[in-house]
A and B are shown apart, each in its own frame.
Chain A
Amino acid sequence: MRLLGAPRERIGVISFTLEGVHPHDVGTILDQEGIAVRTGHLCAQPLLKRLGETAVVRASLAAYSRREDLDALAAGLRKVRETFA
């Protein structure tokens, strides 16, 4: 997994890619697991180009996100891996 950006302080908005799986496929599988993320170029093509990506996955966490939500995201990402293993 590649996390994009390395700020010293980070808010709960995290963009990432999984090697060998297109972000839209990640997004569709997470969606089937009931997890909503944004995928694609996020209307930020110049920045993504600079970062060497054409599309990413973005999870947006906030004050109301719970530990269970993160566990569900992790489980969903494992499912992505299994699907494309």
Chain B
Amino acid sequence: MTDLYQQTIVDHARRPRNFGPLPGANRSAEGTNPLCGDELILRLRLGDRIEAVAFEGAGCAVCLASASMMTLAVKDCSASEAARLMQRVRELVAGGNGANLGELESLKGVARYPARRKCALLAWRALEAALAGETTKVSTEL
């Protein structure tokens, strides 16, 4: 019925992958979207590459699905590969081309809902902070 709530998004929102604590995590970041009330915490086990990634939190379907798909997409990526992927997703939800992004392409519909872009990007902002070793909570409003 709508290009926002595609089956992929609904499925990831209902059954988020890599949802829960992460034993042996050595990086983490908290993200909040104060206008929505969405909150999540992202944990990484980072070596030369992202060896493992998991998140916990509460949010709308777009927020949870984006976080869930992100954990699948960035596993085994280097920090710079993850940063490039994040840039692609930013462009995608701003109306750009999502070619070769796999399941993440399902976020394309977010481009038509400017108010929901922050929902889609919260987990990615947290990833950016975790990779950079930032310790302050990231907010979509800053």
Contacts and interface: CB of A to CB of B under 8 A. Distances in A.
Interface of A: 20-25, 28-29, 32, 40-41, 45, 54-55, 79, 82-84
Which of the listed residues A22, A79, A84 has the most CB atoms from chain B within 10 Å of its own CB?
A: A22
Contact of B1 (A24, A41, A79): A79
Given A29-B2, A84-B10, 7 more contacts: A20-B14, A22-B60, A25-B5, A28-B113, A45-B37, A54-B37, A83-B1
Contact of B60 (A25, A45, A79): A25
B53 interface: no
Interface residues of B, number: 17
A16 to B, nearest CB: 16
Chain B interface, DSSP helix/strand/loop, else mixed: loop
B5 A83 contact: yes
27 contacts: A20-B14, A21-B61, A22-B59, A22-B60, A24-B60, A24-B62, A25-B5, A25-B61, A28-B5, A28-B113, A28-B116, A29-B2, A29-B5, A40-B35, A40-B36, A40-B37, A41-B37, A45-B37, A54-B37, A54-B58, A55-B37, A82-B1, A83-B1, A83-B5, A84-B10, A84-B14, A84-B61
B127 interface: no
B73 interface: no
A26 to B, nearest CB: 9
A79 B1 CA distance: 9
Interface of B: 1-2, 4-5, 10, 14, 35-37, 58-62, 113, 116, 119
A38 to B, nearest CB: 13
Contacts of A24: 36, 60, 62, 116, 119
